[in-house]
Chain A
């Protein structure tokens, strides 16, 4: 009896998972189809870039600054024991640009942007605004989904680059709490430690992170059920799924980078 119940639960779980994966694949192809259609919504795309990029900048800037600042403060005592404090700028820049910057900024963006897209599209679905677009022969996928996914794909890498630069500034402030280092010397050491092979994979993976944030936010918002409860559920699912996808994509990106960039 217990075995039978477990079997049923596992079966229905797998069935639901496959159904969801199928839905997402279908949604992805719908996105591609509508992306290739004539009449790209440039105005809405620019508006979304403004909302996603400009309006997220203060949060990203503070996060980036604290990232560099804390990383410096945490590593300084250990490096001091080995007399290697001069390596701090290089260590901060390499770790922030290669890994910590893209992942932390993507996770913060998932919390801010994926949830807001999920909630916005979810509430549009609940209040029949998406249906109203459909019945008037306007294309909600092209207007709402394509523009948001592309804006995320475009803006997340830019936000990450800005956050990387600001975190170096945070690192500089952190270093100056202990000993006096000139801005010129700090940045000189930070940039000398960086190679193109550090920057390139870091930027490339943020493009995929941005796409994941936009895609998952839109998917959950667009497929929310009726009722106000589903709006909250859409926002919550968007954050959880987007964060999970960022971690998964990062794992894949690190493996690929190790194979192609550092060998």
Chain B
């Protein structure tokens, strides 16, 4: 398993050196909420096939960064390109097209409370992909539930699921549209260490199965270790360190080092 991870890391690093493989590029990104400047100078590049972990304490702007990427929050200054297209310049329809290539796993899973798991998963297929064939929809739903290991939960309501299950279903609902890039907003927050490890492992398995590139926002070091090819440390609205888990573990910087203690 460790060997596989090493090979994947090497592939991602090689990919990172090739500019043509860049799928997300942030340059000098800034964002303020009234007087509070959350993002001061964010520079980030995500390459095809790469798993990039953004590490940082709460309130440092990690979630704001990925919400800017997906167009949920407008940024004030700088450049944000997804597949070479500046997000700010896109029309509503163009943004929708880009969003089809992006998957976003919310911290809470964000399942639709009034729908069963089956309806939750079928929702993007019927509304976005305009699929009408019931059999085909059911097949897709079952396949993706199988991939996250929750085939038995198909007719349950979100209220009947545990935190870990909700995240898995949220992940399945995102993956059903087969995105090229996955954005994970604290995928292991609020979970016990065992479930947390399972989710991290699932992220790796799904990356292999669906060939996705990912940005993983977290402050969980186990998750960062398992999932990250490259780690960026965010503090006070800027990245203060970059490297592999092993590189950062050896860092002499007090702020970086505090995560590994």
Residues of A at the B interface (CB closer than 8 Å) are: 39, 123-124, 127-129, 131-132, 134-139, 143
Contact = CB atoms under 8 A, between A and B. Distances in A.
B16 to A, nearest CB: 25
B180 to A, nearest CB: 14
Given A131-B72, A132-B104, A138 B127 contact: yes
B127 A129 contact: no
B191 interface: no
A33 to B, nearest CB: 10
A14 B145 CA distance: 52
A132 B99 contact: no
A139 B95 CA distance: 12
A135 B104 contact: yes
**Residue of A124, A128, A129, A132 ringed by the most chain B CB atoms within 10 A:** A132
A200 B97 CA distance: 47
For chain B, which range describes its interface: under 10, 10 to 19, 20 to 34, or 35 or more residues?
20 to 34
B221 to A, nearest CB: 25
Kindly list the 3 A-B residue pairs having the minimum CB-CB distance in the complex, ordered from nearest: A132-B110, A128-B110, A138-B127
Given A128-B110, A129-B110, 16 more contacts: A39-B130, A124-B113, A127-B108, A127-B110, A129-B111, A129-B112, A131-B72, A132-B104, A132-B112, A132-B173, A134-B99, A135-B70, A135-B99, A136-B99, A137-B99, A137-B100
Given A136-B99, A136-B174, A137-B99, A128 B127 contact: no
A199 to B, nearest CB: 37
13 contacts: A127-B110, A128-B110, A129-B113, A131-B106, A131-B110, A132-B170, A135-B102, A136-B99, A137-B97, A137-B99, A137-B100, A138-B123, A143-B127
Contacts of B128: 136-138
B106 A132 contact: yes
Contact of B108 (A128, A134, A138, A143): A128
Contact of B124 (A39, A127, A136): A136
B74 to A, nearest CB: 13
B136 interface: no
Contacts of A132: 104, 106, 110, 112, 170, 173
Contacts, number: 53
Contacts of B96: 137
Contacts of A131: 72, 106, 110
Nearest to B111: A129
Contacts of B124: 136-138
Contacts of A124: 112-113
Contacts of B100: 137
A131 B174 CA distance: 13
Interface string B101-140: 0101011101111000000000110011010000000000
B88 to A, nearest CB: 16
A128 B177 contact: no
Contacts of A127: 108, 110, 113
A186 B100 CA distance: 64
A134 B72 contact: yes
Contact of A139 (B104, B106, B127): B127
Nearest to A143: B127
B173 to A, nearest CB: 8
A42 to B, nearest CB: 12
A123 B159 CA distance: 14
B17 to A, nearest CB: 30
Contacts of B113: 123-124, 127, 129
Nearest to B130: A39
